[in-house]
């Protein structure tokens, strides 16, 4: 039995990761900025695992450290940190202003860094060979038009993943990332609407266009992502660190 903390666990990919890891036999600490985590906690308990919730904004370092402390106190251990919370931003580079970069950087990059720090500190204190798993993206391997700053944040997550893997290897801590493609969550509803506003595309058209480029011929489900995170959070990935593999149905090839 081990304890996993998932950020952004209230919906979408984070919710699916929480449920998959509960099915795998982990106890789950669910963290999000809103109270959607309460119903996900119930779903975790229905799978026979313990769950606890903690409301935190991942861009606030103290709140992230408090979330890890809460998970340890409530669930009696701390083994895996999933830094999943993230936000999208659709804008041509010409339109981006300082307040825009500040906001997305605070959540997608600083939020992951605080999660890495908080988890590593707890793993070291517990002398636990823990695992840290971060959300990057296809946009962490390829800079997408209209998603330039979002792409920059996801490239940055790969950089942090590599550096953290090197810094913590001597403690037996591994750090990896997952890079999903086009997943049918609220995030994509927002991206598609914003593309429609900016380009005049019909609603749904951008999403369909992206999905049309996927070799396996369908959009990704949150469960597709969770299945890979299950591997990254479990013992089969013990010899892997500093990696950020694409799990996208065949969209970006590296």
Going by the DSSP 8-state scheme, the letter that residue 147 receives in this structure is: B
Q: How far is the CB of 153 from ligand NAD (least distance, A)?
A: 8
Q: Are 184 and 12 in contact (CB under 8 A)?
A: no
Q: What is d(CA 21, CA 44) in angstroms, rounded to the nearest whole number?
A: 9
Nearest one of 83, 116, 82, 89 to 105, comparing CA atoms: 89
Candidates 5, 12, 49, 192: give the one binding ligand NAD (CB under 6 A): 12
Our CB check for ligand NAD shows the closer of 128 and 211 to be: 211
Q: Are 109 and 59 in contact (CB under 8 A)?
A: no
Verify binding: residue 183, ligand NAD, rule CB under 6 A.
yes
Verify binding: residue 8, ligand NAD, rule CB under 6 A.
yes
Verify binding: residue 86, ligand NAD, rule CB under 6 A.
yes
* Helix spans in the chain (H): 12-23, 37-46, 61-75, 98-105, 111-126, 148-168, 186-199, 205-212, 222-233
Our CB check for ligand NAD shows the closer of 50 and 106 to be: 106
Verify binding: residue 163, ligand NAD, rule CB under 6 A.
no
**Which residue do the tokens 């914003």 mark?**
194
Verify binding: residue 14, ligand NAD, rule CB under 6 A.
yes
Give yes or no: 239 in active site: no
Q: Is 137 helix (H, G, I), strand (E, B) or coil?
A: coil
Our CB check for ligand NAD shows the closer of 146 and 183 to be: 183
Candidates 2, 3, 5, 7: give the one binding ligand NAD (CB under 6 A): 7
Q: Are 176 and 133 in contact (CB under 8 A)?
A: yes
Total chain residues near ligand NAD (CB under 6 A):
29
Q: How far is the CB of 89 from ligand NAD (least distance, A)?
A: 10
Residues engaged in binding ligand NAD (CB under 6 A):
7-8, 10-14, 32-34, 36, 57-59, 84-87, 107, 111, 135, 137, 180, 182-183, 185-188
């Amino acid at each position: 039995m081990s304890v996993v903390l998932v950020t952004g666990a209230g919906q979408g990919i984070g919710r699916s990761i929480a449920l998959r890891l509960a099915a795998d036999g982990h106890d789950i600490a669910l963290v999000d900025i809103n109270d959607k985590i309460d119903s996900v906690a119930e779903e975790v308990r229905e799978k026979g695992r313990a769950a606890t919730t903690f409301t935190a904004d991942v861009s606030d370092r103290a709140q992230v450290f408090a979330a890890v402390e809460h998970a340890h106190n409530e669930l009696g251990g701390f083994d895996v940190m999933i830094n999943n919370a993230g936000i999208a931003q659709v804008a041509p580079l010409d339109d981006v202003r300082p307040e825009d970069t500040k906001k997305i950087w605070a959540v997608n990059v600083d939020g992951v860094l605080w999660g890495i720090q908080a988890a590593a500190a707890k793993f070291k204190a517990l002398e636990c060979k823990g695992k840290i798993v971060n959300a990057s993206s296809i946009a962490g391997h390829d800079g997408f038009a209209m998603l330039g700053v979002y792409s920059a944040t996801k490239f940055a997550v790969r950089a942090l993943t590599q550096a953290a893997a090197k810094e913590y290897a001597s403690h037996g801590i591994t750090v990896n990332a997952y890079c999903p493609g086009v997943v049918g969550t609220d995030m994509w509803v927002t991206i598609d609407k914003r593309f429609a506003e900016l380009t005049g595309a019909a609603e749904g058209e951008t999403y369909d266009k992206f999905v049309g480029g996927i070799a396996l011929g369908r959009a990704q489900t949150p469960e597709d992502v969770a299945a890979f995170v299950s591997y990254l959070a479990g013992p089969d990935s013990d010899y892997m660190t500093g990696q950020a593999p694409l799990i996208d149905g065949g969209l970006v090839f590296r």
